Chain A
Amino acid sequence: MTARRIGLVAWHVFKESVRDRVLYAIGVFALLLVASSFLIGQITAGQDVKIIKDLGLATIELAGVLMTVFIGVGLVAREIERRSIHGLLAKPLPRWEFIVGKYLGLLLTITVNVAAMAAALYLMLAWMNWESPLNIRRSWDAPATDVRLLISVLLIYAELALLTAIALFFSTFSSSALWSVVFTVGLFIAGLESEDLRNFGDIVDAPIMARLVSAIGWVVPAFSAFDVKAQVVHGVHVPAAFVAHTLLYALLYILVALGAAVVVFSRREFK
């Protein structure tokens, strides 16, 4: 029964997000970015594959982040803001099931979108490959339709899964969608810089300050740790153990974020 209810909530979230026009706006934006990378590629001889790969992966990541923040936050925070949730909570649905269901639904949305964008990227690279003469192809660091790109896509997906959990957490406790977006984006940026925060002691002499900032760097979700775009584009080997560790990190942090969301949401009141 629990599983069915969670499934229903998740499916409902997915349906809603698919009909959300924001999704299509972001999709068009992503398409434009990738198209522009294609144009740039035409100009610089020989480097075009790298540029398309670079921009393509970056677009997947950026579009994914935008979707997560706006649709993810939108769905839950708006639901609370507009009071659509009042009717839902009168049903025999425990609050934790609501959170888990929302998360899984958002995750499904992200999965479909990342898969679609990755497929589009590969198509473009395949076309590039077909179009380029053999000598140009030999000059590339890595093949155009390099399967290893998927490693980067997988880690980007894990990054988005984590960001979704964080966005969901912020939606549950702040009272407006706007603040949830602000907090989520803020924490995302902090997470991108988390490595610098952790190594703060390298720059600063004051030990207390350095240790404090370093601690923050360890607690903040390390979004920079999912970035293997540079390696993958140049064909540098990324060990399977590295990927496994990273996924494990993501899983642990997601559980923490969801747990926090459940705790906050279970105690929350709705006026």
Chain B
Amino acid sequence: MSTVVRTDRLTKDFSTGFWRPRPHRALDALTFDIPAGGVFGLLGPNGAGKSTTLKLLVGLLWPTSGTAELLGRPVGDPVAHQRLGFLPEHPTFYDQLSAEELLVYFAGLFGYSGPERHARATRVLDLVGLGADRRRPMRQYSKGMVQRVGLAQALVNDPKFVMLDEPMSGLDPIGRREVRELILRLRDEGRTVLFSSHILSDAELLCSRVGILNKGRLVASGTVAELAASAGEGGQGWEVVVTSLPAAAADRLAPRVRRVTSIAEGRYSIELGSDVRPEPLVAELTAAGAALVSVTTLRTTLEDAFLKAIGSADRGQKAEGTGQRAEGGGPQA
């Protein structure tokens, strides 16, 4: 099928307060599609509703109104879970079991039997780097190890669609890189990946499409390039990094360029606008005795798009009092 997730005005209210419960709207008329193949990032500040969305999709929560479909079935239908992999937000499993026992158990739930279960468990634990520790009880695991178990159990059934709720949390930089590589590998294998995160740089590197949530509303969605373009005010440019530049020369440079930043003794980062070519400047600086370290293009980042989307949404909310609604698939108007 071509769409793994489809939601239509999906809304979720929670009642807060004990004596006079008032509804708190965690998700407001969320409407978007996730096509098969590729990596979709669900982004937003803390409390935006990312986890809520994932939990609704996997059937841990029930919608207050609106509908949602997962792999062609209404959410909550266990049949759809046969080809689904899910990493929960704060994974905890069963302290008394070892990772291997857990994976074998879960593999059995998918219908695999006997040796196949063990084979899959071993394979997927090796994939996440827990091969050596797989027989130890999980109460001895560190947070990072538990996170890896979470990833492993999301993959044990060769899922068509993998949903990861904050997959990087609890991992050190090495771990995060491994997870990034894993996600890309899943994509290359033809699977669809949805992950939620508030770390934008990961999304930038991984995602083909992105949705930004703020306070329960979808405030922007589209490809990374589209979003960045919509946010950028033609904000391209260059960054030139040099060393051994005398301070005096740096000072003389300042008015001609957008910004000069001192990184260390003699080492400077120079930002140029897109209208200025870097080559003449480089020649000039090297003639003055500086050594060139790098020349890179600057693009508006996803972060800019993000802040802009959140900011305008907040402003819009204040102005109109109701907030905007974004159509799925297109850049913010």
Asked if A pairs with B, the answer is yes
Say how far B52's CB is from chain A's closest CB, in angstroms.
Answer: 9
B97 near A15 with CB under 8 A, answer yes
Q: Which residues of B contact A115 (CB under 8 A)?
A: none
B interface residue numbers (CB < 8 A to A): 14, 55, 58-62, 78-82, 84-86, 88-94, 96-97, 101, 105-106, 108-111, 150, 153
Q: Which residues of B contact A20 (CB under 8 A)?
A: 96
Of B84, B88, B111, most buried by chain A (CB within 10 Å of CB) is: B88
Of B58, B86, B94, B106, most buried by chain A (CB within 10 Å of CB) is: B94
How many angstroms from the CA of A212 to the CA of B96 in the assembled complex?
46
How many angstroms from the CA of A82 to the CA of B111 in the assembled complex?
26
B78 near A92 with CB under 8 A, answer yes
A4 near B108 with CB under 8 A, answer yes
Number of residues in A with C-beta < 8 Å to the partner? Answer: 26
Q: Which A residue's beta carbon lies closest to that of B150?
A: A87
B86 near A269 with CB under 8 A, answer no
How many angstroms from the CA of A26 to the CA of B228 in the assembled complex?
63
A93 near B78 with CB under 8 A, answer yes
Does chain B have a CB within 8 A of A237? no
Could you tell me which residues of chain A, from 127 to 141, have a CB within 8 Å of some CB in chain B? none
Could you tell me which residues of chain A, from 1 to 30, have a CB within 8 Å of some CB in chain B? 1, 4-5, 8-9, 12, 15-16, 19-20
B93 near A270 with CB under 8 A, answer no
Question: With A92-B109, A269-B61 as given contacts, are A86 and B97 in contact (CB-CB < 8 Å)?
Answer: no
How many angstroms from the CA of A86 to the CA of B88 in the assembled complex?
6
Q: Which B residue's beta carbon lies closest to that of A267?
A: B62
How many angstroms from the CA of A267 to the CA of B60 in the assembled complex?
10
List the 4 closest A-B pairs by CB distance, nearest first. A90-B86, A86-B88, A19-B96, A92-B81
Of B60, B81, B90, B91, most buried by chain A (CB within 10 Å of CB) is: B60
A83 near B88 with CB under 8 A, answer yes
Q: Which residues of B contact A269 (CB under 8 A)?
A: 60-62
B58 near A89 with CB under 8 A, answer yes
A90 near B84 with CB under 8 A, answer yes
